[in-house]
Amino acid sequence: MRTTLFLALILAVSLMAGPVLADSGVPAVQETQGFVTSTAMQVFGMATETDSMAIEMNDGYTIRYPPAPPLPPTSIIYTSSYSESTLADQGLITYQKAADFDTAGMAAPNQYNLATEKLVEFVGSGTGRMTSEEQVTVDGASTGQDAPYLTLSCPFAALDDESYIPPFCNIVQEGSSVDLTMGSLSTETRERFIMVAVPDTTPSSFGIAWPYPLADPGTEADYSITLTGFGDLPASGSATAYMNAHVQEGRDVIRDGTGPYGSRYPKSEDLAYSESTTVSGDITVFSKELNYLGKITGTGRYIVIPQ
C-alpha cells in the first residue's frame, strides 16, 4: 500500500515594529525607469532562468557631507535586491513568469516597485531534478526627518515644526528554495520602498530644497510560495521558505553638541525576527505567505539639551 504524506502549511507574518514605527521609504528621483519582462517555456530536456536586481537610492543629502557612513542628519538611504535561479534538467518543464520593476514613487498601499509571479511545473525522468531559489531584500536607514513633509493623511502625525520622524535602520529578507523530482511550484513577490517625492518648501540653510518621501503607503515586502503535486500524485522532494528581519527604531533626536553633527540618535527598539519552514518527502500541499509592513504611526521630537 502506498503511503501519502499530507502536509498543509499556511502561515502569514506581519511585522509592525512598535507604536512609533518610522520606515519612511525613499523619495523617487526625477527621471524614473521601468522594466517589464514575460517568460514562457515548455521543454523536455533542460531549462534555466537567472534573474537579479539591485538598487541603492538616497535623498541626495550626502552631497554636503562625506559619503556614508555615518549618515548625515535628516538623511535617508535604501538598498533593495531580488534574485531567482532556477535549473531544471532531464524532465518535462513548463515555466511561466511575469516581472515588473518601476522606480517611480508609489502613492497607494496597492502599488509596488517590484512585482513578480512565477509558475513552474516539473516532471523528472530517471535522474531528473529541478532546483529553484528566490530571495527579496529591502534595507532602509535614516537619521530622521521633519514630519510635516512626510505624511499626507496619517492622523497620528502632529504636523508642527517640532514633529520629527525618528531614526531607523530596518532590513528584511524573504525567500524560498526547492529541490524537486516532481511538482508544481508557484511564487509571488511584492515590494514597495520608493515613495512620491515632496519638495521641501522651506530651503535649508544650504539653499537647497531636499526631497522628502510621501510615506503614507509604508514600506512593504511580501512573498508567497505554494507547492503541490498533480492530481492524486504529491510533489516529491524538499522545500524551504523563510523570513529574516532586524528592526531598529529611534524615538527622539537629542541635540546636545555631541557626535559628528551635534546630535545623538538614541535607539528605543531593537527587534530581531526569523522564521523558516522546511518540508521533504511526498508533499501534497506546502503553502506559506510572508508580509512585512513598516509604516509611520507617530512622531518623535527634537530635544535640545543646553550646553
Binned at pLDDT 50, 70 and 90, residue 161 comes out as low
* Position 1 in a domain: no
* Position 168 in a domain: yes
pLDDT, one tens digit per residue, over 48-71 is 999 999 999 988 765 555 555 677
Binned at pLDDT 50, 70 and 90, residue 13 comes out as very low
| Mean per-residue pLDDT, 263-278 | 89
> Rounded to whole angstroms, what are the CA distances from 265 to 143, 152, 302?
7, 25, 10
* Position 66 in a domain: no
Cell of 261: 553633527
CA gap 169, 270 in Å, rounded: 10
CA gap 120, 131 in Å, rounded: 11
Indicate the length of the chain as a whole number.
307
* Position 79 in a domain: yes
Q: Which residues constitute the domain of residue 103?
A: 14-60+71-250+273-304
Total number of domains constituting the chain? 1
119 φ, ψ to 5°?
A: -135, 120
* Position 212 in a domain: yes
* Position 287 in a domain: yes
CB-CB contact of 27 with 211 (8 Å): yes
SS (H, E, C) 15-71: ECCCCCCCCCCEECCCCCCEEEEEEEEEEEEEEEEEEEEEEEEECCHHHHCCCCCCC
The SS3 assignment for 148 reads helix
Could you tell me what percent of the chain has a pLDDT over 70? Answer: 77
| Mean per-residue pLDDT, 212-241 | 95
| Mean per-residue pLDDT, 36-51 | 97
* Position 204 in a domain: yes
252 φ, ψ to 5°?
A: -140, 170
H or E segment to which residue 140 belongs? strand 114-142
The SS3 assignment for 147 reads helix
Q: Name the E strands within 147-296.
A: 163-165, 168-192, 194-195, 197-199, 211-213, 219-228, 235-250, 253-255, 263-264, 267-283, 285-294
User: Which residue matches cell numbers 502632529?
Assistant: 158
Cell of 210: 531636499
Cell of 15: 511585522
pLDDT at residue 241, rounded to an integer: 98
The reported pTM is 0.86
CA gap 190, 51 in Å, rounded: 15
Return the DSSP state at 149. G
* Position 289 in a domain: yes
Residue type for 246, please? H
CB-CB contact of 157 with 81 (8 Å): no
